[in-house]
Structure formats: structure tokens, C-alpha cells
Amino acid sequence: MRYSLKAVTAAVLLLALGGGGWWAWKSYGEEMFGIVIEREAKPEPDAERYATLVSELERWRGDLRKAHSKARTAEEKAAVEKDARVILELVMPEMMRCWLGTPYDFNGTAEKPGGGKVACGYFVSTVIRDAGFRVDRYKLAQQPSENILRTFMKSDGCLLKVGQDFESYAKWVEGMEPGVYLMGLDSHVGFIVNGAEGTRFYHSSGWQKRGVVNEAGNKAGALRHSNWRMIGGLTADPEVIRTWLGGEKVRVRS
């Protein structure tokens, strides 16, 4: 069965909106010196919603895999791959949001949102695994950020900048096409999501042990203070999409 891009988008948005905008942080008013200041409540991990998204994404992957195998022309296969990219780019950021508020620890290996503490590498590797990529999350999480990126993308798909001033770098990233990216830093790793909200950096932050956060790309301290920055378009790479569709085992680069 083939799904139109419109149908795929509508179905996933309907799933994401279930629960009345579950990802939105609730605001509350705080009065200071007679002035009411609107603040965002601290986000809480949502393991239940995460499990639903993982299950639904796997169902979509199975349907799209069948459609891809039945496609007879390059154009038909490319259309399925485009649908697969749309699905991943809609669902993966919602999965990341489920982790917001999960505490950080350098040795944290939590398997699910709020299920303990999680280090940056384990946050990234677990989301990738749960998105349907057959990869050893333990081995992947223990690699330097460069190896995490190169596990999925070839060298020419991993764009490295060393010593570039932060403002121009952030502007360069903002100019990239919409999608889900892996971002490797000096001693850190996370996801960049370019979308309707602009450029967002999802990562498990060790600074003051804040845990999993969602920051504006042009304000994230970890991005600003890193001298070495490598970015790769996870969902923009056709080979990555085909690997996901086929359920192929991903060999961790070490």
C-alpha cells in the first residue's frame, strides 16, 4: 500500500496532537514586585507517550518497507523514501521531547524517559535505536562523537568546522534544510532539529547536570564553547533512509 505525502503527514500530526498538545510546556504566572511574569514549567519525562511513538513509528516503518519492496521503478522507490523521511522528521523530535527533564549523569544509561539518569551519548543512541535503527546502543554511546556520526553517514556527509566563531556557525546551521541532524562536539553529542521552531539543539546537558534539554541553536552554551563541531544530516541521507526501511543492522564505527 502506498501512502501519499499528505496522508503520511496528516496521520503523524494526528498522532502527535493526541492528548491535546502533549508536548507543550505549561505556563504559570509568578508575581514579583507586583508584576506577573510568565514562566515555563519544568518539563517532565513522558515514558508512556514515548512508548506509543516508538510503537507507531515501527508500524509505519513496516508498512513503508513493504511499499518500498513492491516499488518497481526508481521513481516509486524514491517516493516511498520521501515518505519515510517525512515520518522520521516528524516523529523523532517528538520522541526527543519525551526525554525532556530526564536527569544527566556521566555514566547514565537510562533505557526510557525518566527511567534513571542519561549521558549525552546514551540519549542519542537510545533515541536512534528506538526510532527503528538496528544498532547496539551501548557500543554506539561509548564512541567519540565523530564515530557516532560516521556510523551512519559517509565522510562527505559529515561537515566539520574547527575554530569558527559561534555566531557565523549558528547562522550557517540555521540555513541548512529542514531535518534531523547529528551534532558532534569536542566531548559532547546531541541532535539538531531544523523545523518550524527554527534550529533546536536536543541533548543531555552535563552543565549543572541539567539533563535532557531543548535549546535554541543560537543560544546553546555547549555549541558556543566547543571548538570542534561536526554535523551530519541523518534524515537527509538516502542511504540512511534505506537502511531504516530495510531494518538492516548498523555496524558501529569504532
Q: What confidence score (pLDDT) does residue 32 get?
A: 33
- Give 39's Cβ-side CA count (13 Å radius): 10
What percent of the chain clears pLDDT 70, i.e. is strictly above it? Answer: 84
Q: Is the pLDDT of residue 1 over 70?
A: no
Measured torsion, CA atoms of residues 121, 123, 125, 128, in degrees rounded to the nearest 10 = -150
Q: Which of 84, 102, 91 is nearest to 54 (CA)?
A: 91
DSSP string, 198-249: EEEEEEEE-GGG-EEEEEETTT-HHHHT-SEEEEEETTT-HHHHHHHHHTPB
CA angle 4, 62, 60 (to 5 degrees): 50
The answer as to whether 142 is a domain residue is yes
What percent of the chain clears pLDDT 90, i.e. is strictly above it? Answer: 79
Domain count, the chain: 1
Unique residue bearing C-alpha cell 517532565: 44
The answer as to whether 88 is a domain residue is yes
pLDDT (tens digit, 9 = 90+) per residue, 69-107?
Answer: 999 999 999 999 999 999 999 999 999 999 999 999 999
Q: Report the chain's mean pLDDT, rounded to a whole number.
A: 88
Count, residues in the chain:
254
Q: Is the pLDDT of residue 20 over 70?
A: no
The answer as to whether 251 is a domain residue is no
The answer as to whether 161 is a domain residue is yes
